[in-house]
Structure 1
Amino acid sequence: MSGSRPWRALIGNPWWERPALLVLVLATALGYGWELDRNQLLNYYSAAVRSMSQSWTTFVFGAQDPSGTLTLDKLPGSFWLEALSVRAFGFHNWSVLLPHVAEAVLAVIVLHRVTRRWWGPVAGILAAAALAVTPMVGALAKAEIADMLLMLLLLLAVAAWQRSVETGRLRWLLLSGVWVGFAFHVKMVQAWAVLPALGVGYLVAAGRNPAVLWRRAGQLLLAGVTTLAVSSLWIVLVLLTPASARPYVDGSMDNSPISMVFGYNALGRFGVGDDLGMGGGLGAQIGSGTGTHWLYLLSDQVAPQVGWLYPLALAGLLLGIAWPDPAPRAAWARAGCVMWGVWLLAHVVAFSLGHVAHSFYVAALAPPVAALAATALTTMWSAYRQEGWRKWLLPLMIAVSTVWSAYLASRFPGFLPWLAPSVVVTGSLAVVVLVIGRIVSARASERSPGARPWTTHVLAAGGFLGVVTVLLAPSAWAATTVVPNPDAVSFDPAAGPRKIPAAEFDKSARRNQKTFDYLRSRRQGEKYLFAASSMIAASATAAGESVLPFGGFSGSLPAPSVDHVADLVSRRELRYVILGNILSGRKRPEPPVAGWVRLNCSQVDPKEYGGGGRTVTLPPTDSGRPISFRYDLQLYDCRPGG
């Protein structure tokens, strides 16, 4: 064993592995990065990224605007790499999205190393390929969403955890805790969902030795403290910084990072303490709906994104835990399967009981599904080449996977209509070749014991066809993310067919642009082009304009204060204010600034700037619910005398 070399696998390197991995990585990078500059950015996030790239203060606190008025409603760690990229290369679509491509490619590489260390080079390549062609991973790799960075950091945590399982050394477990702590700065409490998996797996690896078990329990406690300490760094920094010296914390009514992280972004997902109406936003409705049922992960908006390998993943979990293996690494590999299984279970429960605002959240399932599916294929292939009833498991699971993939594909008859028949043909051929090849091979071996009959090549062909079968459908769906989809919307990335007409959002964006042009033509040296709710202000901030955001993401925050806005108006640094927001679902309360504006400013005739209200109704979502949203914006001139 190579105890001092963390990236040296326990199993030897066959000649074909590195070329295969190189081809896979290059193809993945090319597919994820193709026409990157044509992919859309999410204004709310890209505005913050532009602001964060302009000063280290806005960078550290994650300010929405260059003046540092409000933070994002999430921790800034999600966007630090984006801001650094913009700082280095300038603000472009590709420079904002480039870190996500790199994160996705690195996640594929890390999963390969983690899987092959205990399950061998074939399993490593299969797991990496399965992750690379997961449709949602392809979509997130070129979207301004933080889930790819979360996935990478958690996989790095698993890699360090894997070393701690083998050696029992505390330093590796502490490093794993550090990686989870970094992941917390990306997606907050969601990062902690893997802690039960790492903890249970670490204890399982101790076996039945009480002394080892108690020692590892103590190590887990120290690792947990480390995770908590690293996770708390930004929260502590904000708490120690005077409110006057930092932006107001969005996602909280009390300017508290604790409320934002554990209330708005944690308990609020389960309908507890949802003071800001997090669950009623337009993006949430256009996303996956509520996700409060146990079949959610089998739904049309989720299963095709991460679930093509569900049957194989379940088989890999059962085989990895129950299948006796005399190899020295068997206990470690079993602990690995337990870890992946608990990871899956924790997320299944969370996604089934909590509020899932967007279907891309379930990308967290992709690593365990890919690893367990690869485990299943390699384990069953090993049994397939030996005698006994287990040799029939491989053709049986290929048949099950064929039926499942064909069923999923058939649920979208108007999209890739060739896919379901192709899966059936390929899968049927694979099963026939595997069954006949195994029978013929057994008879040939009886005639010539010890010889390598020509049927060995037939068996290999059957195995290859089986791999093609299980990866065909997800690859086809993932391929739809290579070229930007004109019907896609930036806040809900996904592969496959889109039912949301992006043209409706383009019309509203053009309407906003007309208003912005009107304001630019009347600007007379004011610092801010206008003030507006964060969602409206973001589109102008992302374009490089100086805009004062108020109300936060929900539009309801009591920040900035009325006194601050009145002072800006009196000093002629602010003239125009846009009231209103993009409304969908329940109506939220207005911030205090809105009342002051209505009392002290003059409303501009909507005909002058192309404003006014407009209701747009979109087609039903996958859950069968039509979506209506309303642009209801009013422009006010706050200069004395108009």
Structure 2
Amino acid sequence: MSTTVTPPNQTADQTEVREPAKAAPAAPGKPKDTPARTRRTGRASRLLLGNQPRWIRPSAAALLAFTAVLYLWNLEATGYANSFYAAAIQAGTKDWTALLFGSLDAGNAITVDKPPAALWIPALVGRVFGFSPLSMLVPQALMGVAAVGLLYLTVKRISGPAAGLLAGGVLALTPVAALMFRFNNPDALLTLCLVLAAYLTTRAIEKAGWRWLAAAGAVIGLAFLTKMLQGFLIVPGLALAYLWAAPTGLGRRLLHLLAAAGGIVLVAGSYIALFQLTPASARPYMAGSETNSFLELTFGYNGLGRITGSEGGMGGGMPGGGGGMGGNVGFGGTAGITRMFGASFGGEVSWLLPSALIVLGAGLWFTRREARTSRTRAALVLWGAWLLVTAGILSFMSGTVHPYYAVALAPAIAALVGIGAVELWRGRAYWPARITLAATVLAGSVWSAVLLGRDAAWLPWIRVAAVILGVLAAAALLLRLDSLRVVPARFRRMATATVVAVSLLAGGLGSTAWTFATAAQPHSGSIPTSGPTASAMGGPGGQGGRTGFAGPGTSGPGTSGSGLADGAGLAPDGSGLAPNGSIDGGTVSGGAMGPDGASTANSQLTALLKASTAKWSGIVSGASQAASLELATDTSVIALGGWNGGDPYPTLAQFQEMVANGEIGYFISGGGMGGGGGRGGNSEVATWVAANFEAQTVGNSTVYKLTT
């Protein structure tokens, strides 16, 4: 693989600025340019175009504008997306404590089972503009635009603007990226933080700048506060690239890495200390933990438990855990080296994964004799380690894993494709580079056809076109069509453009079509998947959609035994809310009813909770049901037992104290995830309520009035 040779003190993305030619005399009748006017024009030109070819900045602006349109178009159709996070964002718009700690309700009973950073920006926007689906989702989409822009800038510094544009385009047109940047899960902010950390590390490597590296560490700390240990998966790649290639001595490189570690500790550690040192009575309970501990959540349910399945991977102590769901595509499919190519993850992110692996291996081989400080090889190490470590963990973890986690792979795949394709193109006069480039394009087109074939009824002509284009592009690259003697010199530029265009179409047609199909559909629920159908899973027992998951919920004391299938009050798409914002498609307890009956029952329950003046209008087992009720009523509802009803909060004694203080309006029988027993023992709460309060039927729901 070739690298661009540049003069000292000039980076690969800089272009030589030549002395401007002497201006020609002004034409008769035309005003003569004055020196001041020329200077003003020159400053404006430099501001708009920079000291580089005129096409670069307009092309970058077009990339960002295209990404913005793709991620913002018809965004309001998504509604509240994942009602679990939507309710927490709504709570953050009402109460600063809820915002700081990520509480699911404005009364600060219990948090979501994640750190709160991903909730902060949309909640702050909601405070300014009012809470709504758009105030929540537009920041997510803009994070996607920012991630694409940062990836462009990062790759441009290594292999030039063409590589940056290609990398940014690949990221923007990755299906799982379009899915997550149009959704309200934490993965949007996580991905942005990871790309920003890679950019800062790339800047640090250029001149051994410890400040850049410390800033990268601080951003990794923010990634940790977004999705805990998943934010650390890129750290080996960043550290290895800097340790290998930074232009300074080994001792200084090690000290600089300590500065990066200090940045991580400063940001992540400060929040952990704040949470742990805040009295439990002054903050919500930490969901997903047994001891109300942020650290337990970090290293248990959301940490090693996710990898080993030892924490009941379904979350919060649900029996069976991730292992019980391992063969289901909504939960990652079967663990193993082929998981990223399988039915669960394949259509989300693997479209160009074979191509990325080819250019990674070839690039490391072609740069094996370059100087230690080679930026191209450092970039390959950074993005390659990011890809291999993240893909390896996702492939072999036996706890809870969902297909959309693969969005963390998208920047690495895009960067490797951008750097590798452009460097191989520059070296195409060299046979090994030409063969590798042809294999890269052909692999991308063939694998795209395989993925499209898994949904054979959807636009079958695309996979045929992808293969044909791949074969044509590979042949043109091998034969060097752009430089054949039989091609007249005046047509060679056109031939070059044709080869480039066909190669791009061959590798990107399939993923682009799937991405557009993803963006055209509103997605909702807790496990969204990409593609041409609005598929999602609201949790166990939820809607199957493309995931192929359906099944009974988990029954337990104090629940209907129906899980989400009939007890969550979810909309038919698993979102938890119907498009008009009301609870629909299910009931709080008992079997599902027809549309009219369900609508009547839920409207009565909604009206009842809205009329409550208690601190919490109600309490119900499971966070999905509580979130749906909060969004429908604009009141605070306690999620008894957290996400799945298994967290030990509130205990019977705590609940009795709340009732005695008149803080809870109604106990609603049944619940979302239905984990009534679990480790939280909320069956004791249900039993005590049934023994001491009179049941009443509200529509199709059984409720107990707890206040006098």
Question: How many Å separate the matches in 2 of 1:201 and 1:161?
Answer: 9
CA contact (8 A) 2:421 2:437 kept: yes
TM-score (norm 2): 0.79
Letter in 2 for 1:637: K
Q: Does 1:507 align with 2:585?
A: yes
Distance 1:340 1:573, change over 3 A: closer
Question: How many Å separate the matches in 2 of 1:466 and 1:542?
Answer: 48
The alpha carbon displacement at 1:432 in A equals 4.1
| Structure 2 SS opposite 1:579 | strand
Equivalent residue number for residue 375 of structure 1:
419
Question: How many Å separate the matches in 2 of 1:259 and 1:309?
Answer: 37
Structure 1 stretch 421-430 or stretch 245-254: which is displaced more? 421-430
Letter in 2 for 1:574: I
Question: How many Å separate the matches in 2 of 1:426 and 1:151?
Answer: 32
Q: 1:316 aligns with which of 349, 359, 379?
A: 359
The alpha carbon displacement at 1:87 in A equals 0.6
Letter in 2 for 1:60: L
| Structure 1 SS opposite 2:243 | helix
Equivalent residue number for residue 494 of structure 2:
457
Equivalent residue number for residue 32 of structure 1:
71
Q: Does 1:490 align with 2:525?
A: yes
Q: Does 1:401 align with 2:469?
A: no
CA contact (8 A) 2:115 2:228 kept: yes
Structure 1 stretch 307-316 or stretch 130-139: which is displaced more? 307-316
The one-character-per-residue Cα deviations of 1:292-327 (angstroms, maximum 9, x if unpaired) are 222110112211211111122112212332214999
The alpha carbon displacement at 1:399 in A equals 2.4
CA contact (8 A) 1:47 1:539 kept: yes
The one-character-per-residue Cα deviations of 1:58-97 (angstroms, maximum 9, x if unpaired) are 2111111111111221111011011011111111111111
Describe how 1:297-308 pairs up with structure 2 within 5 A. Answer: 297-308=340-351
Describe how 1:160-559 pairs up with structure 2 within 5 A. Answer: 160-206=200-246, 212-269=249-306, 270-274=308-312, 276-277=316-317, 280=321, 287-289=330-332, 291-324=334-367, 331-354=374-397, 355-384=399-428, 386-436=429-479, 438=481, 441-443=483-485, 452=489, 454-485=491-522, 488-498=523-533, 500-501=544-545, 503=572, 505=574, 506-508=584-586, 511=598, 514-515=601-602, 517-518=604-605, 520-521=607-608, 523=611, 525-533=613-621, 534-543=623-632, 544-559=634-649
Structure 1 stretch 100-109 or stretch 221-230: which is displaced more? 221-230
Question: How many Å separate the matches in 2 of 1:311 and 1:330?
Answer: 27
CA contact (8 A) 2:644 2:675 kept: no
CA contact (8 A) 2:150 2:195 kept: yes
Equivalent residue number for residue 19 of structure 1:
58
| Structure 1 SS opposite 2:331 | coil
Question: How many Å separate the matches in 1 of 2:360 and 2:607?
Answer: 60
Distance 1:399 1:563, change over 3 A: closer
The alpha carbon displacement at 1:549 in A equals 3.1
| Structure 2 SS opposite 1:508 | coil
Distance 1:43 1:323, change over 3 A: same
Percent identity, aligned pairs only, is: 31
Letter in 2 for 1:108: V
Letter in 2 for 1:636: Y
Q: 2:671 aligns with which of 581, 593, 598?
A: 581
Question: How many Å separate the matches in 2 of 1:559 and 1:5?
Answer: 60
Question: How many Å separate the matches in 2 of 1:5 and 1:240?
Answer: 50
The alpha carbon displacement at 1:215 in A equals 2.1
Letter in 1 for 2:53: P
Equivalent residue number for residue 704 of structure 2:
636
The alpha carbon displacement at 1:150 in A equals 0.8
The one-character-per-residue Cα deviations of 1:492-535 (angstroms, maximum 9, x if unpaired) are 22321446356264512774882462363484644433211232
Letter in 2 for 1:508: G
Equivalent residue number for residue 630 of structure 1:
none
Structure 1 stretch 541-550 or stretch 358-367: which is displaced more? 541-550
CA contact (8 A) 2:626 2:637 kept: yes
TM-score (norm 1): 0.87
Question: How many Å separate the matches in 1 of 2:499 and 2:393?
Answer: 38
Describe how 1:567-578 pairs up with structure 2 within 5 A. Answer: 567-578=657-668
Distance 1:525 1:176, change over 3 A: closer
Question: How many Å separate the matches in 1 of 2:431 and 2:161?
Answer: 25
The alpha carbon displacement at 1:441 in A equals 2.7
| Structure 2 SS opposite 1:101 | helix
Letter in 1 for 2:163: A
The alpha carbon displacement at 1:465 in A equals 0.8
Distance 1:327 1:292, change over 3 A: closer
Distance 1:91 1:217, change over 3 A: same
Letter in 2 for 1:246: R
Question: How many Å separate the matches in 1 of 2:325 and 2:108?
Answer: 25
Question: How many Å separate the matches in 2 of 1:601 and 1:200?
Answer: 63
Gaps of 5+ in 1: 446-450, 612-633
Letter in 2 for 1:495: S
CA contact (8 A) 1:277 1:588 kept: yes
Question: How many Å separate the matches in 2 of 1:350 and 1:389?
Answer: 32
Describe how 1:42-53 pairs up with structure 2 within 5 A. Answer: 42-53=82-93
The one-character-per-residue Cα deviations of 1:551-589 (angstroms, maximum 9, x if unpaired) are 111212232343443344345443420133234799735
Distance 1:512 1:77, change over 3 A: farther
Question: How many Å separate the matches in 1 of 2:624 and 2:445?
Answer: 45
Equivalent residue number for residue 147 of structure 2:
107
| Structure 2 SS opposite 1:265 | helix
CA contact (8 A) 1:9 1:113 kept: no
Equivalent residue number for residue 628 of structure 1:
none
Distance 1:541 1:521, change over 3 A: closer
The alpha carbon displacement at 1:239 in A equals 1.1
CA contact (8 A) 1:433 1:458 kept: no
Letter in 2 for 1:76: P
Question: How many Å separate the matches in 2 of 1:5 and 1:331?
Answer: 14
The one-character-per-residue Cα deviations of 1:333-372 (angstroms, maximum 9, x if unpaired) are 1011011111111112211221343110011110110011
| Structure 2 SS opposite 1:309 | helix
Q: Does 1:96 align with 2:96?
A: no
| Structure 2 SS opposite 1:580 | strand
Equivalent residue number for residue 689 of structure 2:
597
The alpha carbon displacement at 1:331 in A equals 0.7
CA contact (8 A) 1:437 1:458 kept: no
Distance 1:272 1:2, change over 3 A: farther
Question: How many Å separate the matches in 2 of 1:597 and 1:9?
Answer: 69
Structure 1 stretch 114-123 or stretch 354-363: which is displaced more? 354-363
CA contact (8 A) 1:291 1:356 kept: no
CA contact (8 A) 1:437 1:455 kept: no
The one-character-per-residue Cα deviations of 1:264-293 (angstroms, maximum 9, x if unpaired) are 100210212448226749999672345522
Structure 1 stretch 177-186 or stretch 14-23: which is displaced more? 14-23
Letter in 2 for 1:507: G
CA contact (8 A) 1:40 1:143 kept: no
Q: Does 1:565 align with 2:658?
A: no
Question: How many Å separate the matches in 2 of 1:251 and 1:473?
Answer: 39
